[in-house]
Chain A
Amino acid sequence: VHHTHAKDEL
């Protein structure tokens, strides 16, 4: 299962 998005990028 994947995370949707980590939001650790700019």
Chain B
Amino acid sequence: MNVFRLAGDLTHLLSLVVLLLKIVATKSCRGVSAKTQELYAIVFVTRYLDLLFSFVSLYNSVMKVVFLGSAFSIVYFMRYHKVVRHTYDRELDTFRSSFLVAGSMVLALLINSKYTFFEVLWTFSIYLEAVAILPQLVMLQRTGNIDNLTGNYVFLLGMYRGLYILNWIYRYSTERRYWQMIVWVSGIIQTALYADFFYYYLKCWNENRTLVIP
């Protein structure tokens, strides 16, 4: 555990707190993509299957349970909560996320480090996480004025990915035998997807006006 990894995990956690806060406090999920949230739920389930058979640390296990719980809570609110579900902008959330799932599965079957059931599912979760933000980014473009909490949620998610890259650089330069090419390439692609969003987020923040993605 290094400071970049810890900061990354805490930023990830904070992003989920911000999103849940928005949904619970405003009783609205306006501007939030249910497709992205469902993809994250799939990502966490397929990656954290190892909760059942491998133990790394109490920290890791608790975080995995928290991420799983928050992902399913968010999906529950957006799809089933009697008030919140009516605020979901279905017509703005049109990204074909099934293509992302299918594409990630095909890639995981083709490129993995061990051809076993759990390894392929784990690799699938890495590929799917890399692209899971796409429906949300597309939806932001269509939403017009983006509220603070939604904008901050996406910003924190992007920060978390950036901090993970710093964590990998730190680990690669300090640990022997540390190498995870699939994770690195996917993670760099994932972070790059936020570049456009970051540009407009910082620009609008600098000009002190409401976030709009042109």
Number of A-B contacts (CB under 8 A): 35
**Interface size of B in residues (CB-CB distance below 8 Å):** 22
The one of B5, B60, B67, B179 that contacts A5, using a Cβ cutoff of 8 Å: B179
Contact A10 B180 (CB under 8 A): no
B111 within 8 A of A: no
Contact A6 B178 (CB under 8 A): yes
Q: Fill in one digit per residue for B100-117: 1 if any A CB lies within 8 Å of its CB, else 0.
A: 000000000000011000
**Interface size of A in residues (CB-CB distance below 8 Å):** 10
CA distance A8 to B9 in the complex (A): 13
The one of B5, B50, B67 that contacts A7, using a Cβ cutoff of 8 Å: B50
Chain A residues within 8 Å of B174, by CB:
none
Which residues of A pack against B, CB within 8 Å? Answer: 1-10
Which residues of B pack against A, CB within 8 Å? Answer: 5, 9, 12, 50, 54, 56-57, 60, 63-64, 67, 113-114, 122, 164, 167, 177-180, 182-183
